[in-house]
Structure 1
Amino acid sequence: MKPLLFLTTLIGLAACDAGVETRKDAVPPVEQAPPPAAVAPLAASGPATTLQPESGAAVQEAAAVVRLDQLAGQGPLAAKLFGTAGGDPAMNGLYVHIAFFQSPAEGWRVFRLGDVLDYRILSQRAGRVDLELEESTMDEASGRIGSRTRRIIVGWSIAADGSVPATVTVTPAQ
């Protein structure tokens, strides 16, 4: 009985895959980048230097950056979105900012956009970035944590002289 069951199962499985050769041409192949070339491990060529940990508020703030997205097509402006870890990770915890580079002396002009779980750039063009935000919500009556997705348009003016915007706007969107 077992050989008959085995033979029946084998024939059934073979019949299930009969069209695989004809389906190969129906789906275009996905192009994949070649794997990176293997590199041999480095060999030491001098004595090691021992480093001590950095300290200070600026280093701690920099270490809190967990996400960075450069914004393209902003004319003379250097602009980026970035997220820092903070707050309660059960209720959001990714502080999202947009920043514009002013100068080496002045650094970046930074605007905080919100406290979310994550964000996704939907589109971008000069003076605008469309975002989808994933957020935790709290029902005050029941104390239950929920979630929602919302979309916003972040806008700013691009000055002819290349100066950074004084303000940005955040507009709810669909």
Structure 2
Amino acid sequence: MNHSYSPSYEVTPLTMAIIREQSEDGSARSCILEEQDEFAAYHTPSKIIDNACKFFGSSLRGRQDGTRNISNITHKAPIAVDPASGMYFFPTASPTSAKCSWIAHSHINHVNQGPGKQTKIVFKNQKTLLLDVSLGSILNQVQRTAQYRYVLDNRIKYLQQHNADMVAEPFP
């Protein structure tokens, strides 16, 4: 992919995917796909996601723990980088794996079988991405992320609707 270099990329609601690549010298880097742009960053996708979680007051590990507590998903857990802005991502492999990329759930239009054992993700802006991950695995990740997103969004909506009833006790 041909893209500009970003030394410190920040995940935003425009981020569609953070793809693991190798630079010419063999070191890990990421290709970041946005709705209208592409960037390269010299951090792994999981490090970029961890930094995004920290920006919103947690960490990748903290978000994974939260997912586990809410939905009992323990492996390749989807996370809410920021549920208020709809930033839900899922990993394509274990986040500790050299092959792990992260996909933004809200940008996916549909998923198809690609050539060979690859999977083709078509985003809402019609950009496509071929991944060396099975179709079944990606479909499972999309479904698990949708379920997690549904449960967490409903919890947040419930709290917002009942906020008036939850007045804290006055401080003495």
**Superposition TM-score, scaled by structure 2 size:** 0.24
Where relative contact order (Cα < 8 A, 6+ residues apart) is larger, the structure is: 2
Q: Of Structure 1 and Structure 2, which has the larger fraction of its residues in strand? A: 1
Q: Of Structure 1 and Structure 2, which has the larger fraction of its residues in helix? A: 2
**Superposition TM-score, scaled by structure 1 size:** 0.24
Q: Rg larger in 1 or in 2?
A: 1
